[in-house]
Amino acid sequence: MTEHPGKPAGHVDPRDLDIFEFARSARQAAGVVRVSQLPRMLNEVPADAPDRDAAFTWQAEGSTQPELQDDGTEGPQPYLRLALHGAAWLTCQRCLTPYNQAFNADAIYRIVNTEAEADEFPLDEDEVDVIVGSRQFDLVDLIEEELLLTIPLVPKHEVCPEVHESLVSGVSGADGEDEEAAADEAGAGDEPERPNPFAALEGLKQGGSGGKKH
């Protein structure tokens, strides 16, 4: 992950990690986590997805950097770098069918001791996030949080295979069929004026897409 790799971590329990020692010793660890281990992420996967239990690979690396402390002396500040790669099925908000979304994240965290310290960290520091460390740190929970932040604000296909009926006509299923039949019975010469069926789709196209927040 860096030009100067740290020491291997040996066996690491990602649910029970002494993150301060991990950073101080410049350790590294890697593994695989499945969506079934991430309840909040699982909620984002549609029930009709081809695979609801996708796997993500992760790599973690600890380090320290000398920084000025509150007492005026210079001391080592612990940091964690976390990289995630994989893909999961989400619901396209344009055609309402499952699509496979790639996830690639590379985040750096400044590790502090308390929530009060985290609150004091400047909000305009957009390259580094702040986490409160512990001797029993749950790295899997952090992995899940990072994946959730990586989900697009408007998940969608690059090109949809089809447009959902409700987005075209504003109705769905049997209701749409009934309305169509009633219009046919009214006769061609007395057919009521209908809105442009592609107006809703055009509005979505102009709305743009969201991105990742850090």
Q: pTM for this one?
A: 0.70
Please report which residue ranges of the chain form alpha helices under DSSP H.
Answer: 19-24, 39-42, 115-120, 139-150, 165-169, 173-185, 199-207
DSSP 193: P
**Distance (Å, whole) CA 148 – CA 127:** 18
Q: How far is CA 213 from CA 40, 42, 43, in A?
A: 17, 20, 20
Residue 199, pLDDT > 70, answer no
Residues 132-149 have a mean pLDDT of 97
Tokens of 2: 């860096």
**Distance (Å, whole) CA 130 – CA 125:** 10
Q: Which residue has the higher pLDDT, 117 or 208?
A: 117
Residue 184, pLDDT > 60, answer no
Q: What is the pLDDT of residue 73?
A: 82
Residue 141, pLDDT > 80, answer yes
Residues 101-108 have a mean pLDDT of 96
Q: What is the pLDDT of residue 212?
A: 43
Residues 115-139 have a mean pLDDT of 86
Residue 1, pLDDT > 60, answer no
Q: How many residues does the chain have?
A: 214
Q: Tell me the pLDDT tens digit for each residue of 36-90.
A: 999 999 999 999 999 999 999 999 999 999 988 777 788 899 999 999 999 999 9
